[in-house]
Amino acid sequence: MNKLFNNILVPVGFSRDAEGAIDKAIEIANQFHCNLHLLHIEQPGLFSRTHRKIYNWATEDRFENSETRLYNLQNKYTYKLNPGLLIQASLRIGNTEKNIAEYTIKHQIDLVVIGKLPFYSRLNVMRPLNINRLSKTINCPVITVRTKPSSEKWSNIVLPVNSVLPIRKIMFASYLAKQFNSRIHLIAISNKHKKAEPDDTIYLYKAYQLLRDNTNLRIECHTVAGENLADSTLEYAQKVDADLIVVNPGKESLLPGFLNRFFTRFFFNEPGIPVMTISPFRG
């Protein structure tokens, strides 16, 4: 299998969540022999467009402070990378999502690792970052992690399947599983009141057969009860003590309930299990 990861990007915000993301990125970088990029993005002030002088004066100290903290992070984590690997730190001002997308494309980033924020955090509600949209824009995987990972072992990877063959998810999940000697759990939803959707079942077993025919990985294949794929996936992942969930952006990761839909609450914002969001192949 070709090398999928060469450059990893971690957007950092000087929090425990950001350092947890760096820890996970270091682990992946060492495993796959990748270079690491740290990116901090300062938000423009209230007067950034109409009162440029006021903006420059008000943000100068904050910018210098952020620059110092960013390079302190770079120095702190450099020694954790294997010999020969590089860590680069950059500071930008502006829209978070736009800057991540531009940096990713310019520096040929293959994986973005982002620290999760608690759902009810003020920053989580207000920050201009949409994981689903970002993963589609940059067309490379986005892993969200919450605080420092409890283990460096990736023993169980959960991959939900719906009414399509998830080729790209399978490709990345199998790549990770091969390196970490992981078990892949393929799951599709079933409902106690009606049979599992025929297409879901068909593609579940197609995915299983594809992995069986082309890899030597340990594979499990299950239908799980429930009415919402994200909710059932999260419940199953917790049951098997999963280390990673691999999903497509959209409904596949949207938790049930009116409030969750209103706030667009996806389970990659939940604490615990890291989630990789990867868009399907573009037509």
Q: Which of 251, 236, 166 is nearest to 203 (CA)?
A: 166
Fold equal for 7-145 and 156-277: yes
The mean per-residue pLDDT over the stretch 130-158 comes to 82
Q: Which CATH number fits domain 156-277: 3.40.50.620, 3.20.20.370, 3.30.750.80, 1.20.140.10?
A: 3.40.50.620
Q: What mean pLDDT comes out for the span 174-180?
A: 92
First to last CA, the chain: 23
* Whether residue 269 has pLDDT greater than 80: no
Global pTM? 0.84
Q: Which residues, at least 6 apart from 187, have a Cβ–Cβ distance to it below 8 Å?
A: 158, 159, 160, 161, 204, 221, 222, 223, 224, 232, 233, 236
Spell out the domain ranges in the chain. Answer: 7-145, 156-277
Sign of CA dihedral 103, 105, 111, 117: positive
Average pLDDT over residues 239-244: 92
- 7-145 homologous superfamily: HUPs (3.40.50.620)
Cα separation, 63 vs 89, whole angstroms: 14
Give the pLDDT band of residue 78 (cuts 50, 70, 90). very high
Please classify residue 143 by burial: count the beta carbons closer than 10 Å to its beta carbon, then call 0-12 exposed, 13-18 middle and 19+ buried: buried
Task: Provide the token pair at 272.
Answer: 């615990």
Contact yes or no for 30/82 (Cβ under 8 A)? yes
Average pLDDT over residues 67-85: 91
**162: confidence class by pLDDT, cuts 50, 70, 90:** confident
In the chain, beta strands by DSSP E: 7-11, 35-42, 87-93, 111-115, 142-145, 156-160, 183-190, 218-225, 244-247, 275-277
Q: Is the dihedral of CA 42, 43, 47, 49 positive or negative?
A: positive
The yes-or-no verdict on residue 54 having pLDDT over 80 is no
Average pLDDT, the chain: 80
pLDDT at 161: 92
* The pLDDT of residue 160: 93
Q: Are 149 and 46 in contact (CB under 8 A)?
A: no
**Is the pLDDT reported for residue 103 higher than 80?**
yes
